[in-house]
Structure 1
Amino acid sequence: MMEFVHVAVAVLGLLSFGHSAPVTSCENLIQPCEIHGNQLVGKWTQIAASTGIPGFKMLMKMLVVSAWMNTTAATEANTFNNLYIQKMMDKCFALKTNMTLVNNTLTVELPFQASAVLLNTGCPDCLVIFSNNTVGRTTSKLNLLSRRTKVSAAELEEFTKQAECLNLQPPAIMDSEKGFCPDPALSPGTKTIDLTLSSITPDDLNPFEKLFTESGMKTILDMVQTSVDLFKED
């Protein structure tokens, strides 16, 4: 189960960036836009996420409460350091990754390979990314981040339409009302599980491929539901 948590946090933690003029049609909604490095820097709240995996929305709702990310410029040109903090199963998880920007494409090498582009959005302080992530197999993911902890209904509707245009599942929406994990650097007393890159090995990733199927996702949901039921009985 811990291997699943490690990879799940990594997968759920992949980043999102981009904004432009208001858009309405699928042609505009899935149009990649130019990436300026300085627009990536700062603290972002994860608002929503969507994939093509059946059961992803339910799994997120059952396990993930909230998440935020801080991106800083690295010493190398067009390279960024990302700190992703997620509140999951009443615990705080931290993941650090490096991201490179080349020809308007963002790439991550560890703990899994991923490439991503920014998509148009009418939300003025939002970042949207469409990525292809390789964890056992290649899957697509769409993320919405914002400087705010909440976005408007219209902005969520636009993101939902983007997911639909990309043939992805309806997005999972984070619940900011339940609070966020603090920054470990500012709150050293807070227990945070640090998912270092070295902790995720190829042996962890190989069996995880089986989870990217409808039957695999159902198995996870059944396991979680059983644990919840046992907890209630206690």
Structure 2
Amino acid sequence: MCNKELFKSFSLRALSQCSLVIMLAYFCLGLLALCPLTTASDPTCEELTAPLEDRSLWQPTVTQRIFGGGILQAGLLDISVLLRHLHSVMSAQLVVVLLALTSLCAAASPEHDCKDLVKPLLLDNHSPIFGKWVLHVGSWDTPGLKNDLVVVNTSWIELSASSRSDIISLYWGDRLNDDKCLQGSADVTVTGMTSNATYNINNHTSYHEGKYYETCAECLLSEDTTLLPDGKSLGRYLFLFTRTGKLEPSELETFKKQAACLNFPDEYYFMGTNLCPDNRKTETPASAN
């Protein structure tokens, strides 16, 4: 389910796509109301709307003139009655069409847009995600996770192949707000469309389950769920990495829509640009510089 603001924006867009058709239909309805359908031998509009000589027999109301309802009160039978009856039938049919169009437009929901925006990235071929990525922006769905994220000023990761096809080697580097750099590595186990990794940072072990989604070119969109040792979720992050750390405004807007589709709040934390240097060592535990 998308949030309310996204639903509103998508619904307005869906309605705008139908507006031209509805306007044309209402225009046709107005023409029918002003002038009934006639054949070459039918009277003209002026003849049909001209008052009878005996005005007491036929006094159309304002509503009848607008919607083409000419009624003979004294049992008079006139060809205009038949034409106006035909007009009212066709008007009713057009109203049904208008109602159907309106229902279809109103029924348009953001679900289809979310399906297009949030497509899982298949990890059967890891090569598209290999290489170095710079974290540009992150979001969270649990307030406590924000506190852990905002202490980081910049972050980068590097993904590479390992000797096993189901494992990706990950190396990371974070610059904290106190200008300290933390770096470390982890093995990411890939199963279908999800990944699992265990991080050891300053002798603290954390467990994470990841999902990847299709996104902009030269970007990597990762949903990261922080887990307790028993598998219980502490909440989720949504990270958008880029090759350069830069992002176009249109790409940022797409990310925000994707976040809304994944039920993340409208809160974001943007990273800086002063990355930690790659001081890679042979040992795997995280180290402080």
Which residue matches 1:116? 210
5 Å-filtered alignment, 1:80-91, equals 80-88=168-176, 89-91=178-180
1:183 counterpart residue number: 278
**Distance change (3 Å), C-alpha of 1:55 and 1:140:** closer
Report matched runs for 1:139-150 at 5 Å: 139-150=235-246
Contact 1:57 / 1:171 at 8 angstroms: preserved in 2? no
Residues 103-162 of structure 1, C-alpha deviation per residue, up to 9 Å, x if partnerless? 1221214533322221121x1100111232204751122111111121111111111221
Match of 2:218 in 1: 125
- Counterpart of 2:153 (choices 58, 65, 69) is 65
Q: What SS does structure 1 have at the residue aligned with 2:183? A: strand
Work out which of the two has the higher radius of gyration on C-alpha atoms and give 1 or 2: 2
Partner of residue 183, structure 2: 94
User: Higher relative CO (CA 8 A, sep ≥ 6), structure 1 or 2?
Assistant: 1
Q: 1:74 aligns with which of 155, 162, 172?
A: 162
TM-score by length of 1: 0.62
Match for residue 122 of structure 2 among 25, 29, 34: 34
Unpaired segments ≥5 residues, structure 1: 1-23, 187-193, 197-234
Say yes or no: does 1:158 pair with 2:158. no
Query: Structure 1 residues 57 and 159 mapped into 2: Cα distance closer, same or farther (>3 Å)?
Result: farther
TM-score of the superposed pair, with normalisation by structure 2:
0.51
Q: More strand by proportion, 1 or 2?
A: 1
Q: Per-residue displacement from partner, 1:155-196 (whole Å, max 9, x unpaired)?
A: 1111122122222132211121xx11100039xxxxxxx527
Which residue of 2 is the match for residue 172 of structure 1? 269
Between the aligned partners of 1:185 and 1:107, the Cα distance in structure 2 is 22
- The alpha-carbon deviation at position 47 of structure 1 amounts to 0.9
The answer to whether the 8 A contact 2:209-2:227 is kept is no
**Contact preservation (8 Å) 2:156, 2:172:** yes
Q: Aligned partners of 1:99, 1:173: CA distance in 2, in Å?
A: 25
Q: Secondary structure at the match of 2:238?
A: strand
Shift of the 67–31 alpha-carbon distance from structure 1 to 2, 3 Å rule, reads same
Amino acid at match of 2:223: F
Deviation at 1:59, TM superposition (A): 6.2
Question: Structure 2: how far apart are the matches of 1:135 and 1:67?
Answer: 23
Residue aligning to 1:190: none
Alpha-carbon distance between aligned partners in 2 of 1:133 and 1:161, rounded to the nearest angstrom = 22
Cα RMSD between the aligned structures?
Answer: 2.6
Q: Percent identity?
A: 25
